[in-house]
Amino acid sequence: MKTDQLEFFHSGTMLDDPKPGDKWDVPRFLSSNSSEWAKVLVKIYEHPMSFPGSVSPNMGNLLRALIMNIVPRTVVEVGSYIGISTLWIASAMADYEYNKKLYCIDTFPNHTDNPWCPGVTLNDPLEFMKENIKKCGYQDFVEIHKGDSLLLINELLSNILKPIDFVFIDGDHSKEGCLSDFLNIEKYIATGGYILFHDVFPNFCGVDGPFYTLQNKIIPSDKYEICQIYTSPLNFGFALIRKLK
């Protein structure tokens, strides 16, 4: 359903439009948490590159809650950026008594020309992410793969001898790229497994790949059930999909 047909749809809770130089506000539930993963996340949120490309603390907390409740043992993240969503997922998986694995795929380009933080650079984001994962002690179950998801998804997942329980798609946001990521990974997802898309409301996030994939491939199909979720402080949105068959 289009947003203009809804009786309730919020445009975000930021009082002003986001602008270059803004940062995510770190809420008390995160800043007061004494766990190492929370301390590391607070530090990363202080980096100018975290806004607005990373999930907000509120979105990350929701992502973590989903993982804690669904308890997926095999998780794939397509698009890690600087590793914030990775740590939200891994912090939940770390509490498992079960065997678990989080596979992360990204091209990890050097960030030198981000219009949201002019003059700020982040060279070697892969090493930046690895260091933060190690600080949290998650290196034993987080496996990072650098490269194009169009090539890596099939190469990686065809060698995993179990279905994927949960996928977070936040990589290529173009129509062609997002659709290809979904089509390539869908066949590896367990029946009853979940896919979470980030940036599903193009009027607010400024990209249309996830919305296009939902509207043209997922919503018309009887293979999935879907819930689009409003988010704050910026309503870039999540869409949670469960594979039925």
pLDDT for 119: 86
pLDDT for 38: 99
pLDDT for 2: 61
Helix (H) / strand (E) containing 60: helix 57-70
pLDDT tens digit at each of 245 positions of the chain: 566 666 666 777 776 778 898 999 999 999 999 999 999 999 999 999 999 999 999 999 999 999 999 999 999 999 999 999 999 999 999 998 889 999 999 999 998 888 888 889 999 999 999 999 999 999 999 999 999 999 999 999 999 988 999 999 999 999 999 999 999 999 999 999 999 999 999 999 999 999 999 999 999 999 999 999 999 999 999 999 999 99
pLDDT for 170: 97
Rg (CA), the chain: 17
Quick check: 120 and 22 in contact, CB under 8 A?
Answer: no
Domains of the chain: 26-243 (3.40.50.150)
Question: Chain-centre distance of CA 174, in angstroms?
Answer: 16
Write the pLDDT tens digit of every residue in 153-207. Answer: 999 999 998 899 999 999 999 999 999 999 999 999 999 999 999 999 999 999 9
Residue 78 phi, psi (nearest 5): -105, 105
Which of 165, 214, 241, 198 is closest to 80 using CA atoms? 198
pLDDT for 97: 84
First to last CA, the chain: 23
